[in-house]
Structure 1
Amino acid sequence: MAENRLSTRIGQQISLPGHFDVPVCLEHVRALGADGSAGYECRVRLPDGTLEETVISPAEAASLCGTDQEGPTAIKPVDAERLRLLIESARIRLAYAHDHQFAVSLSGIRTLPHQIEAVYQVMLPQPRLRFLLADDPGAGKTIMAGLLIKELKLRGAIERVLILCPAPLTIQWQDEMLQWFGESFDIISSAVDQQQLGNPWQRSSQVIASIDYAKQNDVRERVWQQRWDLVVIDEAHKCSAYTKSSSSSERSNEVVETKRYQLVKRLSEAVDNVLLITATPHHGNEDRFSHFLRLIDLDLFPEPHRFGKEAAEARREIFRLGKGSPWCLRRLKEDLKDLNGKRLFSNRLAKTVTFRLNSEEYALYKSVTDYINKFIPHQSGKRGSSAALTRTVLQRRLVSSTCAIHESLKRRLKKQQDLLDQLAGLSPAQRANRLAALQGRLPDAEQDEDDLDNEVRDRLVDEYTAALELEQLRAEIAALKELVEQARKVRELANDSKLAALKKCLGEAQFVDLKDGRGKLLVFTEHRDTLNYVREHLKLWDYSTCEIHGGMNPHERKRAQEQFRTTAQICVATEAAGEGINLQFCHLMINYDMPWNPTRLEQRLGRIHRIGQDRDVYAFNFVATDSEDGQPIVEGRILHRLLEKLDTMNEALEGRVFDVIGEVLSLNDVNLPDMLREAAYDPRRLDEYLDQIDRIDPAKLKEYEEATGIALARNHVDFTGFQRHNLEVEEKRLMPRYVETQFIAAAKEVGLHVEPRADGLWRIEHVLADLRSERLRSVQRLGKPDPSYRKVTFHKHHLEQAAHVDAVLMGPGHPLYAAVDEKLNEKLAALQGGIGFYVDPLTTEPYRLHFFEITIRGKDSRGSDVPLHGELVAVREQRGQFEIVPSDILLNLPPQANPPSAVDPVDTQAASDFLKSTYQLECRARCQEERQRFARICREYLERSFDVRIKRAQERAMLLAAEATTKPEYKLSADEARKYVEELQRQRRERLSGLGRLEIARTGPVRHVATAIVLAAGADTETQLADLADELDPNVRSRSERAAEDLVVTALKEEGFPGDRIERVGHLKLGFDIRAHRIADEATGEVLVKRVEVKGRARGQPVRLTTNEWYKAQQLAETYWLYVVWDPLGPNPELVRIQNPAVRLDHAKRQIVAARFFEIPAEAVVEAGRAYL
């Protein structure tokens, strides 16, 4: 008997004190013993969706059923406002199901079409990401990586992230991840590693590190030991490998891998999600490019040293997929547009400024050059690298400024004198060892000069000596003393030709804006000494200045950047400003010192020629070509000829010359640093080098890119499709006002004091210790919230205002929001599965709203469970019929003023079954289709790659086996070849099996969150609610609304909107009824869009907008229109149009809090509508 009565509770929420501390949903009952005499086995579902079994006693069963009554025991309804908090928490946490650009909504950035395409259409849908993002410089690749990280974290798909990049970029990555995405990363460096106890690589879940630190033997082992969910490699092209040259005609099978390459290769093998970022995926070397691509997927891209022709063909086939490729995306600057179809990048114009050295300067130039050639000669091996570095730095300081070479010579003289004093006290053997050590001290053979820290480079150069004996050292010291004195005299007494050229340049027409405050100028030097010297003279010329250099910490650089943006006319900078600093508010640049690394030209220009620059950019390159009497300055002659060549090549390269200068020089066998060093050492070769520059052929780049297939990877954004899709995404975006309302209410519930500021933002003086506790799952995932927040906003447009650049954008994914949300769910756990009462003023009969959390689960390539989809779904139940309704529906329904004290439990099983058999299956089908599409492409190309490799390996094994039958010395090679075939076949099985796992998508648990009983407003409802009931009966209202919409559609057609671009979307509950769009500017493709809320009312009636409609009007601003039709069913209907009603009617609205409406008087509507006439 009890079993039967217990069975009536299946699908209902029940309380089992002593078994569970929260209400559970009963799913199955089985009696133990005769008629349950031994108890009952119950299977229940917990609020988190997990299934549990427990056995209850007959007494507990009787208590649960209520032995003295026929029906189920009545339960007490829960507080409706608190229940709404619980439901809204789940809706916002899972908002990515509807807001398909969730991270964009929650980040402080304005995204662009190509960024949205890369993240949301190409990378994010992939179940296993192996991707090369190879867009041109300045396209915002860091932003795309940040969006990807944020989205994957919001979905619960990743937790542990590793970002490897060049050392100078670590702080930039950390700063941008925090500033734009609210993601805190720890930088692990040598200092951090040594100072901390334990293993920081294990302790930190989000890590940024220099790739040159992580590659070190004792460090990389600890990096490899950790489980990473996503690895991002910036400047990935620096991870290189190549096939070693062979003296025979046959291709060598030996591959030389740099330590950077080894580090990333091992990570690529172990980690499912790998993102390689570079603007220069190749440097004109096909073999290196082929090896580089193998970092994406070792099985997909065959080894070029074994399968040269097949590897090239596989590469071209993969690139030929274009944007359909799940492995690579490449967009050029010329193809990038903003949301309105306008070009993202302005024009770049370069001008070469030449000048001549006076006789004193040229004499110093000759003396220093002679000194370099005599005392720092060419050498080989490690000594050669150290000598080349020292020669290069001294030559560059020489052409930088008299001030720079004077200071350098003084420092070098002191170091050499100190060395002489040290050597004097050593034995001959110790002396020889010490001198030998100073000749080969490059710390890392893989690093270029530009990779070295300034202090490290200066120390190496100042301490280097080629002397093998004390007399040689004494001779150099004597020469240095003379040079120091000569440089002092030139610095103090002679005119500065380069400085005079700068002053003259500042008088040219392009710099007029600089003087009247409309323009900014960035001056690049190579050395701090020159920076100080130039800045000093700019101040004497009455310019306001600031500086950025490598000796400044990140906070000092940011302050200097802000000073440049606001008050300083000119910023003088060293190469420290060439990476990681965005200065698009400046459009003038002077290369006071020309870089010897050609890619530095683009990097410098990229600081100002980037997204957000709305003016043409001018770059002036300073070069000394001759002395006054016509003697050549060899470095200047070479650089001048190169700049001339770049100018002539620009058209052939479609304006990309500065973006591809490194690749073009490499393809034409021009090594600029070597050329400049050699010319200074042997000026007789100057004409040879000038001829070599003249022969540079830009067509080689196109030929190479076509031959390697990289040209096939070039993609164009489908702009028309993007605009249409973007309209829908914008409309479904999570509204900041709802997030703000939820957070403020949740904070109050958990005891966090949030107070409003006078400027409309919020302040949190003290974050509770409970919200910073390590036990919180949110703290473990996202890190601890700060102890306090001086300025908090929920609206990203605030961050674009100068007064609020220091504000914190709060929302899901932020550590404090997540901690508050977790504590809220802990506190409201008893409400899970509860029932609340609400009122719908627009309905005539009651209905129920059941809220469920659904999940779709899948597998990663290793077979581990991963979440694919999660969503809060609302099911409306009325008269036994079920339908899916928007999950935010409750936001428009006020709580019932006087709910009943008890209510019968609600059976949710039928609603749950309806949801499982319809909507959840549809979600699963969508997830599986996307995963199968990816797996299908991967399987096709992986099978092709393995087939080629296995066939070639089998042919070689058969050949060697045949030889081994008559030649025993071949037996070992034959066995190894056979084992290699078996290994390839094993790898093939494993990879294809992994792909099969990626196709899995199954329905997960359906968790009942809560049920709302919604009543019609009636006589027993508060007077205010009764007054809000529309006077029209439902049938009349329906006809009135349809008539009003028909009139609005006709009006929109008259306004020029094509009929096929006018959509009725009221059923989607987006907050408006009609979407209309058309091309506003044929030249740019700019789209005009109207989102129209239609209201049909009797003339003189007030107009009411729901909370959702009003907030949507605030969000969509100028694209949101209110069209009011007076008397839509009468003979003379009248249409009133109001653009941006949230602003134009804000003064007149009356908020009916209890009913969650905004009411606008008819006269205010008429007055606002006059603006359209």
Structure 2
Amino acid sequence: MRATLNWARCTAREWRRIKTISGPVLRASQRKGDRMPARCRAGATGMAENRLSTHIGRQISLPGHFDVPVLLEDVRALGRDGSAGYECRVRLPDGTLEEAVISPAEAVLLCGTDRETAAAIKPVDAERLRLLIESARIRLAYAHDRQFAVSLSGIRTLPHQIEAVYQAMLPQPRLRFLLADDPGAGKTIMAGLLIKELKLREAIERVLILCPAPLTIQWQDEMLRWFGESFDIIFSAVDQQQLTNPWQRSSQVISSMDYAKQDDVRERVWQQRWDLVVIDEAHKCSARTASGGQGREPKVATTKRYDLVSRLTSQADHILLLTATPHHGDEDKFSHFLRLIDPDLFPEPHRLGKQATSIRKDVFKLGKDSPWSLRRLKEDLKDLNGKRLFPDRHAKTVTFRLNSEEYALYKSVTAYINEFIPQQTGQRRSSAALTRTVLQRRLVSSTCAIHESLKRRLKKQQDLLDELEGLSPAQRAKRLAALQGRLPDAEQDEDDLDDEVRDQLVDEYTAALELEQLRAEISALKELVEQARRVRELANDSKLAALKKCLGEAQFAELKDGRGKLLLFTEHRATLGYVREHLERWGFSTCEIHGGMNPHERKRAQEQFRTSAQICVATEAAGEGINLQFCHLMINYDMPWNPTRLEQRLGRIHRIGQDRDVYAFNFVATDSENGQPIVEGRILHRLLEKLDAMNEALEGRVFDVIGEVLSLNDVNLPDMLREAAYDPRRLDEYLDQIDRIDPAKLKEYEEATGIALARSHVDFTGFQRRNLEVEEKRLMPRYVETQFIAAAKEVGLRVEPRADGPWRIEHVLADLRSDRLRSVQRLGKADPSYRKVTFHKHHLEQAAHIDAVLMGPGHPLYAAVDEKLNEKLAELQGGVGFYVDPLTTEPYRLHFFEISIRGKDSRGNDVPLHGELVAVRDQRGQFEIVPSDILLNLPPLADPPPTVDRVDTQAASDFLKSTYQLDCRARCQEERQRFARICREYLERSFDARIKRAQERAMLLAAEATNKPEFKLAADEARKYVEELQRQREERLSGLGRLEIARTGPVRHLATAVVLAAGADTETQLADLADELDPNVRRQSELAAEDLVVAALNEEGFPEDRIERVGHLKLGFDLRAHRIADEATGEVLVKRVEVKGRMRGQPVRLTTNEWYKAQQLAETYWLYVVWDPLGPTPELVRVQNPAVRLDHAKREIVAARFFEIPAEAVVAAGREAGA
């Protein structure tokens, strides 16, 4: 039964609530029998729909419908004038759109309980309101701090990294991108920045990173350490032991490509929705054109890696492919590889031939403007000051001769390999080649290595003989055939196999078909093992002697006093232990890294090398994924047979952060002591000589392109070394082939394929200009730190300062780790405690704070604290707080709004494009946009009035919508339209060419089918293919049209600040700010001081057109001056100058925002104080980095949010600086 209202008994307060609701609701109540006195009817004439419409764009509570506040986006009356209720369209906190129908009674409650519908409301606490507003400003910080992820990461970014992420990748609505920078350019860092920025915008949640298995722990470590992003590594042990599907449960996953490609795994990978997929070492996904058979089109032969990634790229919203070697001199494979970016853009090479090449070249011609790719070479990269990023590389070949005993063993083992492990064909080829290669390489590695290998192989072969002797002839033949099969994974190189798998394959392989053959091999092995033992125990080690001599050269002098570091590569564990033992005998401290260590052990060894060990002895396990730029000396004790490995080894030390020239010493045995050739050594020696000779022609890039150059000249180094050992008579032929290597073929190939056109040079001038603005708008660390500490206090989290600078959090509240929190669902749970937390990234570079956690937006704890803060302060939303502006003479209002721009993805789903907190200043009905951090400089009014008239924000909202929000929409749409325009142009060209070619083929087959029935099936397939291409064309172009959409979203009023001039009571509190000048004289003094400072800067060498007056922008300083400091590098000198004009002896006052900016901008922030600027003899004092040099003298005036500095402290600081 419905309750009725007795209007005659309404109190005045009740009536004030009721009279704001609509007339139709009241009339509906009357029809139900409510008695309303005539004195009340006159006040009930408004419409409920109009009343509810004032809530659009605001957070409202609808108990019984939703358990959290929701954003009202639209409202519609049901029935006659809302008599049946109202349909409300609302958006949930997770962005989901929902509808709810509310009754007239619920509308009464909603309108009647809203704070802004009352004639008078109670002001809210100004400090807590400031906390709420600052929370929104930081949450939407990416709108004005355009490189927010840089601030939140623990890395020092470089111009080419900023350009790649913020100019090339981030603006794209649908990312399909190949990042092909040279090795060591920091592609992992760029991927991390992209992930962080997309997550800050809530554009992605589920991320998959696929990489080579040895790199999984590095990716996990760097994502967590530098970006605070936690990833789960999924591999066989984890996958098989889980009761739930880890691919579904984990939102951020790292896995090896070779695990994820397995048949029983990839289906589960494909079933998941991934917002972003990152493929590291993407060039390992290969496909090639194969024959289609008689009368048929060629087909594409793909690897499982390629199939895995191809399917993922078709499903994921964003794709990033990373590789330093996008091609290996094979145009066909390169063409298929590019189709992973976008198969509709890059046509099938086997169908379009030269036309496909032409389209590809035109795409690459876009250079840095290409939305699909970016390639920068090491030689083109610069640091923040415009200086070369990478130092020079120097290679030296160290030759030595084998003594007679070593050479005799070399000949004996080579003869054994050629007799008992001959070259094979067919399925046996891979296993035989692997066994021959491993034994040959261990032979030249060390006597120790070959001795251990021969002993192990002898035992395995003896065990095999014992096993076979107990089998029937049929079982015996089957067992021998199994041991001669292929490698377990034909896509993996020998160096991709771990030591245990490689040893098992090599030790068990046999070419024997009969027991007598196996017995003969065992007999030969026994003799070899004994010979190797004698050489190992009795003969001098020629290679070790060469190492000792090399370490005595001048380049290694720094090792003697403990300052230097040396990275020494061997091929095998046995050699590693042997060399390390002798190095320690010679007095060096050492550590080791090898494939038998788990990832965590490798990380510990890397840290030991960085901090204490002089020499790191490593196998190929250290050739990938370990950053050792603190070392600049390298010895290749064993030369790799795969030329790419030589690049990778050098890349461990020749990378970002290396500040010294890099030296690599390559050890090669060329002859015996009586002049007999060592064929492998002769070939490697000649190749190293050729590389040195080609370096100039390749612009110093020779170590980055070894593999490509050899491939283009038809030099297969591993095959050549195997063949030379099998037939030494061909040695001269191979040496001649190396001599004929032509470096010009690389340039010809890159120009022919278009990859040369993709080379991009960083716009360093543009970067510096943008960087100046970014530095000035950065919120980390000072603003974010201040907000977090205050927010933590508000929600009850105890954060304590440590004596050494960072913060300590002993206990994280259970509420902040609750699964119900949206932040926990997005980012995971915060840790139960934090021993060391910092907001300053320079702490992470200090040995004492290497264990610190970098806190900031995007970190689970920060996000949880912010979410709880907004829950607790939800009642303040839409509230009014009172503040004081000591420098104004008239009151004004500041309205804070959250605006949004929304768009569509290619599938038509609604997506956010832009969000921002905007402040609108309202003074006597005149509106202007002001910086959203303006409240930082305004102290709260000490004694605000008990009530205040309801604030009407509609006019301010309309102003914002019609000006600033429309401008934001125009910028978003222009950016998206530019992307769509480029994509449309090249997609249309690609589709048109493909459709034309398909139509021609369909017509030919149709003509053939009229007389030859056997062609009918092929003709039908060709016709269907044309139809499918036409459908795909329409679908892709329609998707691009959706990407061009950008519309204004809701404008939500967050809060209003009423700002008063200093009244009598306020002036008493702010007595410390008393000034002998009236406001007009003060302003004249400031203008005169600014003119004097501009003239002084001009005298300092800053051109007038490089001195900007920016005080009106409220950046925290008045002038920005910059000039070229170094013409050779383009390094820029910048000064941000805060100008103060004061009467001599007066204290100098900096606002809170000015002081924060001084802390943030450090050495580029200057305080220029002009004493008596209006007098006959003004005096200028300059203080650089006042936040440091004047920190001891500052006095904070909390009531005014000013920092006051005595005049004598300013003069003293200026005198110290020589001003």
- Asked whether the two chains share a fold, i.e. TM above 0.5, the reply is yes
1:416 match: secondary structure: helix
Tell me the equivalent position of 1:212.
Answer: 258
C-alpha separation in 1, matches of 2:962 and 2:279 = 43
8 Å CA contact retained: 2:111, 2:117: no
1:1043 aligns with 2:1088: yes
Tell me the equivalent position of 1:2.
Answer: 44
Residues 767-790 of structure 1 show CA distances to partners (whole Å, capped at 9, x for unaligned) of 223222222221222122222211
1:201 deviates by 1.1
Q: 1:459 to 1:1054 in 2, by over 3 A?
A: same
C-alpha separation in 2, matches of 1:127 and 1:558 = 37
Tell me the equivalent position of 2:865.
Answer: 820
1:362 aligns with 2:404: no
The within-5 A match list for 1:861-880 is 861-880=906-925
1:277 aligns with 2:322: yes
Aligned partner of 1:211: which letter?
M
Aligned partner of 1:1013: which letter?
V
Tell me the equivalent position of 1:484.
Answer: 529
Tell me the equivalent position of 1:725.
Answer: 770
Q: Among residues 734, 750, 757, which one is paired with 2:802 in the alignment?
A: 757
1:566 aligns with 2:608: no
1:93 aligns with 2:135: no
Tell me the equivalent position of 2:899.
Answer: 854
The within-5 A match list for 1:416-815 is 416-815=461-860
User: Which is further off, 555-564 or 1095-1104?
Assistant: 555-564
C-alpha separation in 1, matches of 2:498 and 2:319 = 28
1:1163 deviates by 0.8
Tell me the equivalent position of 2:955.
Answer: 910
C-alpha separation in 1, matches of 2:346 and 2:76 = 57
| TM-score, normalised with respect to structure 1 | 0.97
Q: 1:403 to 1:938 in 2, by over 3 A?
A: same
C-alpha separation in 2, matches of 1:878 and 1:835 = 16
Q: Among residues 951, 968, 990, which one is paired with 1:945 in the alignment?
A: 990
The within-5 A match list for 1:217-256 is 217-245=263-291, 253-256=298-301
Tell me the equivalent position of 2:371.
Answer: 326
1:41 deviates by 4.5
8 Å CA contact retained: 1:755, 1:764: yes
Aligned partner of 1:912: which letter?
S
C-alpha separation in 2, matches of 1:71 and 1:437 = 85
Residues 425-458 of structure 1 show CA distances to partners (whole Å, capped at 9, x for unaligned) of 3333222222211111511011111111222111
Q: 1:425 to 1:784 in 2, by over 3 A?
A: farther
Residues 54-110 of structure 1 show CA distances to partners (whole Å, capped at 9, x for unaligned) of 65657984996699x999342222222222221111111110000111110100011
C-alpha separation in 2, matches of 1:373 and 1:1141 = 77
1:827 deviates by 2.0
What stretches of structure 1 of length at least 5 have no aligned partner? none
C-alpha separation in 1, matches of 2:756 and 2:113 = 76
Tell me the equivalent position of 2:209.
Answer: 163
C-alpha separation in 2, matches of 1:1062 and 1:1013 = 35
1:407 deviates by 1.2
C-alpha separation in 2, matches of 1:28 and 1:495 = 89
1:505 deviates by 0.2
Tell me the equivalent position of 1:126.
Answer: 172
Q: 1:977 to 1:494 in 2, by over 3 A?
A: same
8 Å CA contact retained: 1:25, 1:46: yes
The within-5 A match list for 1:1009-1028 is 1009-1021=1054-1066, 1023-1028=1068-1073
1:390 deviates by 0.9
Q: Among residues 1104, 1112, 1120, which one is paired with 1:1059 in the alignment?
A: 1104
Tell me the equivalent position of 2:6.
Answer: none
C-alpha separation in 2, matches of 1:146 and 1:70 = 44
Residues 852-873 of structure 1 show CA distances to partners (whole Å, capped at 9, x for unaligned) of 1111111111111111111111
With CA pairs under 8 Å and 6+ residues apart, which has the higher RCO, 1 or 2? 1
1:853 match: secondary structure: strand
8 Å CA contact retained: 1:166, 1:235: yes
1:1113 deviates by 0.7
Tell me the equivalent position of 2:148.
Answer: 102
Residues 197-236 of structure 1 show CA distances to partners (whole Å, capped at 9, x for unaligned) of 1211111111111111111111111111111111111111
1:76 aligns with 2:122: yes
Tell me the equivalent position of 2:1169.
Answer: 1124
Aligned partner of 2:206: which letter?
R
1:1111 aligns with 2:1153: no
Q: 1:5 to 1:42 in 2, by over 3 A?
A: same
C-alpha separation in 2, matches of 1:782 and 1:481 = 61
Q: 1:627 to 1:839 in 2, by over 3 A?
A: same
1:17 deviates by 8.0
Q: 1:1022 to 1:1052 in 2, by over 3 A?
A: closer
What stretches of structure 2 of length at least 5 have no aligned partner? 1-42
8 Å CA contact retained: 1:47, 1:1008: no
C-alpha separation in 2, matches of 1:985 and 1:256 = 25
Q: 1:40 to 1:272 in 2, by over 3 A?
A: closer
Aligned partner of 1:920: which letter?
Q
1:465 deviates by 1.6
Q: 1:16 to 1:823 in 2, by over 3 A?
A: closer
| TM-score, normalised with respect to structure 2 | 0.93
8 Å CA contact retained: 2:892, 2:921: yes
Q: 1:455 to 1:1057 in 2, by over 3 A?
A: same
Q: Among residues 221, 224, 249, which one is paired with 1:178 in the alignment?
A: 224
8 Å CA contact retained: 1:874, 1:887: yes
Q: Among residues 992, 997, 1006, which one is paired with 2:1042 in the alignment?
A: 997
1:722 match: secondary structure: helix
Aligned partner of 2:236: which letter?
S
Q: 1:396 to 1:1017 in 2, by over 3 A?
A: same
1:948 deviates by 0.8
User: Which is further off, 849-858 or 10-19?
Assistant: 10-19
1:88 match: secondary structure: helix
Tell me the equivalent position of 1:976.
Answer: 1021
Aligned partner of 1:1135: which letter?
L
Residues 1066-1086 of structure 1 show CA distances to partners (whole Å, capped at 9, x for unaligned) of 121111111100011111111
Tell me the equivalent position of 2:188.
Answer: 142
Aligned partner of 1:722: which letter?
F
Tell me the equivalent position of 2:163.
Answer: 117
Q: 1:51 to 1:676 in 2, by over 3 A?
A: closer
C-alpha separation in 2, matches of 1:231 and 1:687 = 49
Tell me the equivalent position of 2:21.
Answer: none
For the aligned residue pairs, the C-alpha RMSD in angstroms reads: 2.4
C-alpha separation in 1, matches of 2:1001 and 2:844 = 63
Aligned partner of 2:196: which letter?
K
C-alpha separation in 2, matches of 1:45 and 1:983 = 40
C-alpha separation in 2, matches of 1:30 and 1:866 = 24
User: Which is further off, 1026-1035 or 526-535?
Assistant: 1026-1035
Residues 882-932 of structure 1 show CA distances to partners (whole Å, capped at 9, x for unaligned) of 111111111222222222222222112111111111111111100000000
C-alpha separation in 1, matches of 2:212 and 2:51 = 65
C-alpha separation in 1, matches of 2:437 and 2:106 = 91
1:1172 match: secondary structure: coil
1:2 match: secondary structure: coil
Tell me the equivalent position of 1:300.
Answer: 345
User: Which is further off, 340-349 or 475-484?
Assistant: 475-484
C-alpha separation in 1, matches of 2:749 and 2:412 = 44
Q: 1:882 to 1:420 in 2, by over 3 A?
A: same
Residues 795-845 of structure 1 show CA distances to partners (whole Å, capped at 9, x for unaligned) of 001111111111110001111111211122222222222222222222222
8 Å CA contact retained: 1:1096, 1:1124: yes
Name the % identity: 86
8 Å CA contact retained: 1:1138, 1:1172: no
Aligned partner of 2:732: which letter?
D
C-alpha separation in 1, matches of 2:646 and 2:71 = 66
1:956 deviates by 1.8
User: Which is further off, 331-340 or 781-790?
Assistant: 781-790
